Amino acid sequence: MVIHCVIMISSRGLPFTWSSMVQWCFKYSLRCLQVAKQLHFQLNMSDTVLNIKNVIEVEERIRQDLHILYYGAKQLNDTQKLVDLDIPKNSTFQLFVKPTEELQIFVNVARKTIPLEVKGWHTVRDIKAMIQSVEQILIHARKRLVNSHTLAKYDLKMDPIIHLVCPLMDIFIRIRPIGKMVSLKVKKWDLVANGKALISEKKGIPLQQQTLTHDGEPLKDEDTLSACGIGEKSTLDMDLCPRSAMQVYICKKNQEFVPLEVRAWYAVIDVKNLIQGTEGRLHDHLELVYKAVPLKDSKTLADCGIKEKSTLFMIFIKTRERTVVVDVEKFDTIDSVMNKVRKKLSFTTDCLRLMFIGKSLQGHQTLADYGIQNCNTLELAMAF
């Protein structure tokens, strides 16, 4: 016959009072901390008390010589069998663990080390609870520690140092002047200064030009992201130093010169967005040219050699003069569609490209690849 038992464990003082349960439940004290855990436990009537201790040693790494097992208020001997003790189903045992020599370990957390006095039968989960980092990862000797394992499983006497590893989280930076969003992968213990360095590396914005705020509060470089209340998917706002701005002039087709405040690290596409915002409407197509050279969207103004008070910017706004209908199949390639457009419009130049929903279409792809369906409209634009 198989019976279910509960074992209550205490590390000091008298055993806990017992109560009927279906799980195997351990409770032990560590100074002021009470840690509870549950395991499933089954016994046969022919098992001895020593068999129970063996299971405890295997499952919890608590040495047998530290066990004192009770049923009710009576201490049990190793040779006694459950059948002789007349133990019913769903019974509860109490296990008193003799005090043992404490083990000192050191947990490296970010830029500080936390010393802890622990027992060999404490679990990795217990250690995380002590340092209030339940969701983090503990590493010892380059191996990840398993939550359910006890410290006795690891050689902490020879190497008592454990490292706390914080997983990466995603945060977003909203650059206010251009309304652009930048995503970063950071750790919650990273400094605000580290976040600025990542932005500088990713977008080329000098550190001295960056001012970060979260929920309206300015962030100090020496504070950690966690201390600022920044977590997964948080959004920070970036304001830029006014002294970092420079003025350029946009020359329209009518020779009108319009001043525009920009930064050297702005991408050409950012400048286009600023222009379209000031125009109050979106153009079918917009290209910028500097010194007779068309500017690529991904290049920064600094890459293009554009400096303070540059006046050779020119905007060409290309609008659709007419719409033509072309008969195609959904598996036609973009190249074949372009050939049909050439015949329809009677042009031979290779300086044109097809676009759909603002995206340039590649010649070897098919209409189906881009999800283009019946009666959709494609745009014809200059290809620089």
For the cut 50, the answer to whether the pLDDT of residue 99 exceeds it is: yes
Residue 311: alpha-carbon gap to chain centroid: 44
What per-residue confidence (pLDDT) applies to 355? 85
Name the fold adopted by 334-382. Ubiquitin-like (UB roll) (3.10.20)
Residue percentage of the chain with pLDDT more than 70: 77
Does CATH number 3.40.50.10420 belong to domain 2-97? no
- pTM > 0.75: yes or no: no
Tens-place pLDDT, residues 236-287: 999 887 777 888 887 766 667 788 888 888 888 888 878 776 655 444 467 7
d(CA 332, CA 365): 8
Q: Is the pLDDT of residue 211 over 60?
A: yes
The answer to whether 180 and 205 are in contact (CB under 8 A) is no
Pick the CATH number of 170-241 from 3.40.50.970, 3.30.300.30, 1.10.3720.10, 3.10.20.90: 3.10.20.90
Give the pLDDT of residue 319.
42
CB count, 10 Å around CB of 280?
A: 6
Q: Mean pLDDT, to the nearest integer, of 38-54?
A: 77
Buried/exposed 62-81: b ≥16 CB within 10 Å, e otherwise: bbeebbebbbeeeebeeeee
Q: What pLDDT score was predicted for residue 253?
A: 62
Percent of the chain with pLDDT over 90: 9
User: Which pLDDT score, from 0 to 100, does residue 76 have?
Assistant: 87
* Dist CA 80 CA 326 (whole Å): 92
CATH number for domain 246-317, candidates 3.20.10.10, 3.10.20.90, 3.60.150.10, 1.10.287.110: 3.10.20.90
316 phi/psi in degrees, rounded to 5? -115, 115
Summarize pLDDT for 13-23 with one digit per residue, the tens.
Answer: 333 333 322 23
Helix ranges, 226-361 (H): 268-279, 334-345
Q: What is the pLDDT at residue 214?
A: 93
Is-contact 151 118, C-beta < 8 A? yes
3-state secondary structure 27-90: EEEECCEEEEEEECCEEECCCEHHHHHHHHHHHHCCCHHHEEEEECCEECCCCCEHHHHCCCCC
Structure tokens at 343: 């015949």
Asked if the model's pLDDT at residue 80 lies above 70, the reply is yes
Q: What is the mean pLDDT of the segment spanning 365-381?
A: 83
pLDDT score recorded for residue 19: 31
Query: What digits encode the pLDDT tens for the residues 276-317?
Result: 766 554 444 677 778 777 788 888 888 888 888 775 455 444
H or E segment to which residue 239 belongs: strand 235-240
Please report the pLDDT score of residue 192 as a whole number. 93
Q: 151: helix, coil or strand?
A: helix
- Whether 117 shows a pLDDT value over 60: the answer reads yes
CA angle at 43 for the pair 37 and 44, rounded to the nearest 5°: 180
Alpha helices of the chain — where are they, by DSSP H? 49-60, 82-85, 124-130, 192-203, 268-279, 334-345
Residue 196 has pLDDT above 90, yes or no: yes
Residue scoring higher pLDDT (202 or 310): 202
Question: What is the average pLDDT score of the chain?
Answer: 76
Class of domain 103-165: alpha beta
Consecutive H or E run containing 8: strand 2-10
Per-residue pLDDT band for 185 (boundaries 50, 70, 90) equals very high
Domain boundaries, the chain: 2-97, 103-165, 170-241, 246-317, 334-382
- The pLDDT of 359-372, averaged and rounded, is 88
Sign for the pseudo-dihedral over CA of 79, 82, 83, 84? positive
Chain CA centroid to CA 337, Å: 42
